[in-house]
Chains A and B, each alone.
Chain A
């Protein structure tokens, strides 16, 4: 299995509080992604990174920010958590993207509940 960890694995928080989720990889892959998964929806891309300090928005980026100061770490921050952000969050990594697809490997996920 690819070396990807996510922390925390579970979190319950209150509306209005900031929350940071961490993704850590040991594969030295260039690309890292944050997705959310909700019932009835496919995985939806929040933000992704194509290198240290290089990030871009995905389909559902409102209310989220990211940072990547090191190749191995990709942080997702909910600035002020809302109940609509209750979800399962997956981090994924890929060796490259560009003009051809490379398999994405996923972390175990973080279950976030916002009360």
Chain B
């Protein structure tokens, strides 16, 4: 079992819709969680950190469920520019390294 798992998609969503995807992690001792965004043939960039109480940044909402060991990302009022691959990342405080999911591809259609 992979340490961090994501549905690879693609998620095909009409512009203006709300889309959500989850990520599960296997190590219950994981300390910190993040969502990165990666555009086609580009480098990953931090989208947002995920806090225990949940957090929002504009149209993006991240949630953490430690009991079930999953992280979610919700995108409201989706834009064409949201088309990208979203990478779930877990920080392992046991070795100070990041464990990356393989990513979920999102395609927003006009």
The bracket for how many chain A residues form the interface is 20 to 34
In the complex, what distance in Å separates the CA atom of A55 from the CA atom of B31? 24
List residues of chain A with CB under 8 Å of any chain B CB.
40-45, 48, 58, 90, 97-101, 103-104, 106-109
Main secondary structure of the interface of A (DSSP, over half): loop
> Nearest residue in B to A58 (C-beta to C-beta)?
B97
Question: Which residues of chain B have C-beta atoms less than 8 A from A90's C-beta?
Answer: 43-44
Q: A97-B96, A99-B93 are in contact. Are A42 and B101 (CB under 8 A)?
A: yes
- Contact, CB under 8 Å: A43 / B46: no
Question: Which parts of B29-64 form the interface with A (CB within 8 Å)?
Answer: 31-32, 34, 41-46
25 of the cross-chain contacts (CB-CB < 8 Å) are: A40-B8, A41-B102, A42-B2, A42-B99, A42-B100, A42-B103, A43-B87, A43-B98, A44-B100, A45-B98, A48-B97, A90-B43, A90-B44, A97-B96, A99-B93, A101-B31, A101-B34, A101-B91, A103-B46, A104-B46, A106-B44, A106-B45, A108-B42, A108-B43, A109-B42
List residues of chain B with CB under 8 Å of any chain A CB.
2, 4, 8, 31-32, 34, 41-46, 87, 91, 93, 96-103
In the complex, what distance in Å separates the CA atom of A90 from the CA atom of B97? 15
Question: Which residues of chain B have C-beta atoms less than 8 A from A40's C-beta?
Answer: 8, 102
Question: Which residues of chain A have C-beta atoms less than 8 A from B41's C-beta?
Answer: 109
In the complex, what distance in Å separates the CA atom of A48 from the CA atom of B97? 10
Question: Which residues of chain A have C-beta atoms less than 8 A from B8's C-beta?
Answer: 40
> Nearest residue in B to A43 (C-beta to C-beta)?
B100
Q: A43-B87, A108-B43 are in contact. List 14 more A-B contacts (CB 8 A).
A: A41-B102, A42-B2, A42-B99, A42-B101, A43-B98, A43-B100, A44-B100, A97-B96, A100-B32, A101-B32, A101-B98, A106-B44, A109-B42, A109-B43
